[in-house]
Structure 1
Amino acid sequence: MDPTGTVAIRARLAQAAAVIVTITMLAGTADLALTDVFVGGEGGHAVYRIPSIIRTTSGRLLAFAEARGSQSDNGSNDVVVRSSDDAGTTWGAMRTVCDEPGRSLNNPCAVNLTSGPHAGRILLMFQSYPTGKGEGSVATGFDGPYTCRTLVMHSDDRGETWSTPRDVSRQVKRPAPVTSVATGPGIGIQLVSGSHAGRVVMPFNEGPAGKWRVYAAYSDDGGDEWKLGEPAPEDNAGHGNEVQMAERADGSLLLVARQFGGGGRRKSAVSTDGGASWSTLQAVPDLVDPSCMGGLIATSSVGAPCLVCTGPASAKDRTNGQAWISTDGGATWPRALPIYPGSFAYSVPVVLSDSRVGILFERDSTSKISFITLELPSNAAPAAKTP
């Protein structure tokens, strides 16, 4: 935020268990209602991490997370969901979407289909790891107990019931030397314009660990079959890791990726063929990154097509959540709004209506996953000067 601005926080418990946060800037004051959706230690799970959120065609919000037995990435995780029918003010009971005994489920990535043969369907893609085996210790290939598998499920009733998990590993993963793959985490997208309108695009990164590459897997039949896109070429300055993708106003795609060893800035690339291939990854000067997953959506909330990227506004720490706004397709991100001034990790934005977006994010040292509603005024404050 603007270094001359001030941040004042007042918190109180409401009937909906919301925390009211007031952020005061030179540009004005916004009252942001913050609601805890997943809280560690509740619901039979020690930790909840890795959020995903979508808005269905009917307006229902579905918030997904990994329900973990510990902070470990691969500790017998389940995939769970909660729903809201009042734009995130209140949330229904938590339900388990998938539980694989002896396996750990990771990286939930959801998308709501608005067109095509399965319009109205919700797709949910995620990985299945051997419990206790992380991305640095799984095997190459598609079979056997020590491989990383990719599963997809769907719901045709707004998330009330879900299909049996279907293994699509051979469609979305390359053979050796690739070991692990990861969807997003966050959301997938369905393209709305151009020659690839209707295509479903899922963002991926692939190992081996420490040598990650980012790419898309895509489907032109509503998720029945998937094709494997090419990885984005690296710029020799670190690697892209966890990644999100959005459709730009001209129908091309932008990816924004977490940097690993890349100098404290997110990486981006562009696809003009619906995610089949990408330009070379480049650091984004405006998007500071302490090496943390960040969210990305396309919207018209500021009166014109724009992109919104969320993440920590720090090159060193996962703190001070911020939403950056671009109106030139991601070439620059000159405007930003504060989201949450404390501990802030993984985040996923979702378009609500008009000028409002919701953000589902990890806070307070990943002890909670919370939802906040943010206004995107056309005169948003300039981005902070960050190291």
Structure 2
Amino acid sequence: MTHRRNLFFLTTVFVTCLTHARTLNAAEKPLEVDLQAFVGKPQLETVQVFEVGRFPNVAVTVNGTVLATFGAKQVRVKRSEDGGKTWGDEISIGEGIHGGGTTVDESTGDILAFVEDNHPPAPLSVYRSKDDGKTWNADKVTIHPDSKGKMPAMHMNEHGITLRHGKHKGRLIRPSRNYGKGNRPESLFPTHYTNAMFSDDGGKTWQTSEPFSEKGTGEACVAELSDGRIYYNSRRHWAPEGKSPMRRWVAIGDDGGATWGEASICEVLPDGPQDTTYGCMGGLVRLPVAGKDILIYSNCDSPKGRNHGTVWASFDGGRTWPIKRLVHEGRFAYSSLNAGRPGTPTEGWIYLHFESEGSSVARFNLSWILGGQATGDGTIPEDLPR
């Protein structure tokens, strides 16, 4: 009996130490680099990752493993441990439709994936990986409704983030939405609204933000600026009279994602092809450059049809978007963006996971974007290394 008791004690101590070490290792890894990491020789490489399916996210773990999550009926992930050069076999996360919001907890290294049983509103499962995306297990979570008493839906939003600044440092936040009176018919679109949900306990308990100020919105992106404010960028399925139906809604949150300021239309960024008012999910990431607010946005740049996948760059936190560059001329629908981690094979790379006859991942650097086309909206900083 004494031997068993000692063995149990030693095992408990060992597991506790491992967990503590993993937490320290994740929390102590550098999060931001000098701008020089993202410039140099212009580079673009594209590889097909999934042959069938829909709904992409891309995430980069604290160890620098690139994760491409995907799936309309079975959510799967592929992993790259060499910065996106090569990809491993498909790994199943869970059965259902991808809810987006794939989130890396930078405090622990855990990764969260969100899977709904079918097109929402629908039951939700949250999966957690503690080993860089190799294995996934269903997680028991609590999600609280918004101030209207409405529960958030997940599908199909951009990846989540960990906040790095201010009193909410360490908070997980991901965009979410509410389908109002229902997903269809289209006459119900004006009842939809976008929002976000956030967690201060590593994803066990989630609060839902106040609604975005504009209706007819859903499928959004968030990025934390260097001063701790959150830039919110949303697709719209409907626009009130007098508002552009083919450009993106944007707003700023200054309280860690609990509320959102007055929304405005970004006249530069397209919301999908310009022959429809239906919009298209886009990608967004802030490059992890210390003291800079360089944002990259992705969507179609097309007068007709979901094609001509393009990225835009902002150097002032989304106020202006002076340059864009075509990534993929052919079929291009939903997309997701993320950026590499300092001190790993991903450092200096920008990753774009997009739908195109299955899905592909493009990786490129900022110098490659700088060889693109001026939009006429602002200017590129003169001191930016080329």
- The two structures have a TM-score, normalised by structure 1, of 0.75
2:372 match: 381
Alignment of 1:97-246 (within 5 A): 97-99=93-95, 104-115=96-107, 119-129=108-118, 134-135=119-120, 148-166=122-140, 168=142, 170-172=143-145, 181-208=153-180, 209=183, 210=189, 211-234=191-214, 239-246=216-223
Kindly tell me: are residues 173 and 160 of structure 1, through their superposed partners in 2, closer, same or farther at Cα, counting changes over 3 Å?
A: farther
Kindly tell me: are residues 250 and 303 of structure 1, through their superposed partners in 2, closer, same or farther at Cα, counting changes over 3 Å?
A: closer
Once residues 95 and 173 of structure 1 are traced to their aligned partners in structure 2, the CA distance between those partners, rounded to angstroms, is: 33
What letter corresponds to residue 56 of structure 1 in structure 2?
Answer: T
Equivalent of residue 88 in structure 2, options 89, 92, 95:
92
Secondary structure in 1 aligned to 2:106?
coil
Secondary structure in 1 aligned to 2:361?
strand
% identity of equivalent residues? 29
Structure 1: gaps spanning 5 or more residues: 1-27, 41-47, 69-76, 139-147
What letter corresponds to residue 101 of structure 2 in structure 1?
Answer: C
Greater CA drift, 159-168 or 275-284 = 159-168
Alignment of 1:1-387 (within 5 A): 32-40=44-52, 48-66=53-71, 68=72, 77-99=73-95, 104-115=96-107, 119-129=108-118, 134-135=119-120, 148-166=122-140, 168=142, 170-172=143-145, 181-208=153-180, 209=183, 210=189, 211-234=191-214, 239-262=216-239, 263-290=245-272, 291-300=279-288, 304-314=292-302, 316-352=304-340, 353-363=346-356, 367-377=357-367, 379-384=370-375
Q: Tell me how large the CA RMSD over aligned residues is.
A: 2.6
Displacement of 1:150 in angstroms is 2.5
Structure 2: gaps spanning 5 or more residues: 1-39, 184-188, 240-244, 273-278, 341-345, 378-386
Once residues 361 and 64 of structure 2 are traced to their aligned partners in structure 1, the CA distance between those partners, rounded to angstroms, is: 16
Displacement of 1:368 in angstroms is 1.7
CA-to-partner distance for each residue in 1:21-72, whole Å, 9 max, x for gaps? xxxxxxx9955321111002xxxxxxx1101111111111111111x4xxxx
Displacement of 1:280 in angstroms is 2.3
Q: Give the number of the structure with larger relative contact order, counting CA–CA contacts within 8 Å between residues 6 or more apart.
A: 2
Greater CA drift, 215-224 or 104-113 = 104-113
What letter corresponds to residue 67 of structure 2 in structure 1?
Answer: L
User: Does the CA-based 8 Å contact 1:106-1:128 persist in structure 2?
Assistant: no
Once residues 41 and 334 of structure 2 are traced to their aligned partners in structure 1, the CA distance between those partners, rounded to angstroms, is: 25
Displacement of 1:128 in angstroms is 2.3
Secondary structure in 2 aligned to 1:164?
strand
User: Does the CA-based 8 Å contact 2:141-2:204 persist in structure 1?
Assistant: no
Displacement of 1:151 in angstroms is 2.2
1:25 match: none
What letter corresponds to residue 296 of structure 2 in structure 1?
Answer: V
User: Does the CA-based 8 Å contact 1:288-1:315 persist in structure 2?
Assistant: no
Displacement of 1:183 in angstroms is 4.4
Once residues 172 and 63 of structure 1 are traced to their aligned partners in structure 2, the CA distance between those partners, rounded to angstroms, is: 29
Structure number having the greater strand percentage? 1
Once residues 75 and 251 of structure 2 are traced to their aligned partners in structure 1, the CA distance between those partners, rounded to angstroms, is: 30
User: Does the CA-based 8 Å contact 1:302-1:376 persist in structure 2?
Assistant: no
User: Does the CA-based 8 Å contact 2:326-2:372 persist in structure 1?
Assistant: no
1:6 match: none
Secondary structure in 2 aligned to 1:182?
coil
Once residues 58 and 354 of structure 1 are traced to their aligned partners in structure 2, the CA distance between those partners, rounded to angstroms, is: 11
Kindly tell me: are residues 179 and 305 of structure 1, through their superposed partners in 2, closer, same or farther at Cα, counting changes over 3 Å?
A: closer
User: Does the CA-based 8 Å contact 2:288-2:339 persist in structure 1?
Assistant: no
Structure number having the greater helix percentage? 2
Once residues 310 and 291 of structure 2 are traced to their aligned partners in structure 1, the CA distance between those partners, rounded to angstroms, is: 20
Kindly tell me: are residues 270 and 175 of structure 1, through their superposed partners in 2, closer, same or farther at Cα, counting changes over 3 Å?
A: closer
Kindly tell me: are residues 59 and 265 of structure 1, through their superposed partners in 2, closer, same or farther at Cα, counting changes over 3 Å?
A: same
User: Does the CA-based 8 Å contact 1:80-1:94 persist in structure 2?
Assistant: yes
- The two structures have a TM-score, normalised by structure 2, of 0.75
Once residues 64 and 250 of structure 2 are traced to their aligned partners in structure 1, the CA distance between those partners, rounded to angstroms, is: 30
Once residues 147 and 155 of structure 2 are traced to their aligned partners in structure 1, the CA distance between those partners, rounded to angstroms, is: 14
Once residues 301 and 325 of structure 1 are traced to their aligned partners in structure 2, the CA distance between those partners, rounded to angstroms, is: 14
What letter corresponds to residue 229 of structure 2 in structure 1?
Answer: S
Kindly tell me: are residues 355 and 50 of structure 1, through their superposed partners in 2, closer, same or farther at Cα, counting changes over 3 Å?
A: same
User: Does the CA-based 8 Å contact 2:306-2:333 persist in structure 1?
Assistant: yes
Of the two, which has the highest radius of gyration? 2
Once residues 327 and 343 of structure 1 are traced to their aligned partners in structure 2, the CA distance between those partners, rounded to angstroms, is: 28
Once residues 297 and 357 of structure 1 are traced to their aligned partners in structure 2, the CA distance between those partners, rounded to angstroms, is: 9
What letter corresponds to residue 98 of structure 1 in structure 2?
Answer: G
